[in-house]
Chain A
Amino acid sequence: MALPTIAFWILAAFTAVSTLFTVLTRNVVHSALGLAASLIGAAALFILFGAQFVGLAQILIYVGAVVILFMFGIMLTGTAVRPVVDNDQRPAAALVALAVFLVLAAGIVSSFGTKKVRFQVAFPTVQLGHQLFTTWVLPFEAVSILLLAALVGAIVLARRD
């Protein structure tokens, strides 16, 4: 097996296990840690598939900011009381999740069963930046406005008065 293929399987196993841990554990902080591990695994997969910029942006934003925000939420809402984290529809939820997975898997295997993908092509960051600020400049501005609105909204919601 080629080196990238081995790397893929290791990373895939790591991501899958930490994803499962995220949704199964009863401890909130463990779950956040599992999510962080899962997102790092996904970011490494992005890099493996040639999306270096997106992969590192994912680590920077998801792992460095979003999950830390989750941890803040957890620490500020108190973990000492060990809240009940699951509701009573877990078997049904598991069934639904299994059904979703089977449908998706059947679709994927029947459509892409024999197609192959190569790891080598890395998209140059220059090209991404160029496209982002020419073809996609309007969506980019829209996202900026959205972020600003979210920032203001979060402050309005969370401020204490």
Chain B
Amino acid sequence: MYVAAPLLLSAFMFSCGVYGVLARRHGVMLLMAVELLITSANLNLIVFSQLLKNSLGNIIALFIIAVTAAEVGIGIAIVMLLYRQRSTVAVDELHLMKW
């Protein structure tokens, strides 16, 4: 099994995530695209962990999962706040720093 195959899959996921971050304006969907970026990084870590026979990649992946959970909690809270105050979830309508 060539190691390039999972790495290319990870690169593909990452590009999809980049596309999502750039093209989405729905707040929740933006966060979903960020999720894809992070998972592709995790996939890389796991594959390299296996390639180098070193469990460090696994541990860092665990940390990343925990940090992402925190990020999403805050992200969703912000989107909810946005929806409540402006009745929209479109992030590009947030062009003013202060209302």
Contacts and interface: CB of A to CB of B under 8 A. Distances in A.
Nearest to A76: B80
Given A35-B35, A146-B70, A109 B4 contact: yes
Interface of chain A: mostly helix, strand, loop or mixed: helix
Nearest to A104: B11
Chain B contact-residue range equals 35 or more
Interface string B29-73: 101110110010011001101110101011101110111111111
A97 B19 contact: yes
Given A54-B46, A90-B23, A42 B80 contact: no
B23 A93 contact: yes
Chain A contact-residue range equals 35 or more
A20 B26 CA distance: 17
Interface in B51-99: 51, 53, 55, 57-59, 61-63, 65-74, 76-81, 83-84, 88-90, 92
A95 B54 CA distance: 36
Contacts, number: 256
A28 B16 contact: no
A109 B2 CA distance: 10
A8 B72 CA distance: 29
Nearest to A66: B72
B8 A105 contact: yes
Interface string A106-147: 001100111111110101000110011000100110010011
Contacts of B5: 8, 12
Given A23-B19, A83-B89, A98-B15, A38 B66 contact: no
B71 A93 contact: no
A8 to B, nearest CB: 7
A65 interface: yes
A29 to B, nearest CB: 10
B12 A19 contact: yes
B39 A49 contact: no
B7 A15 contact: no
B1 A5 contact: yes
A87 B24 contact: yes
B26 to A, nearest CB: 4
18 contacts: A15-B13, A16-B9, A16-B13, A42-B13, A45-B6, A58-B65, A86-B23, A86-B24, A86-B25, A97-B15, A97-B16, A97-B18, A98-B15, A101-B11, A131-B55, A143-B63, A157-B78, A158-B76
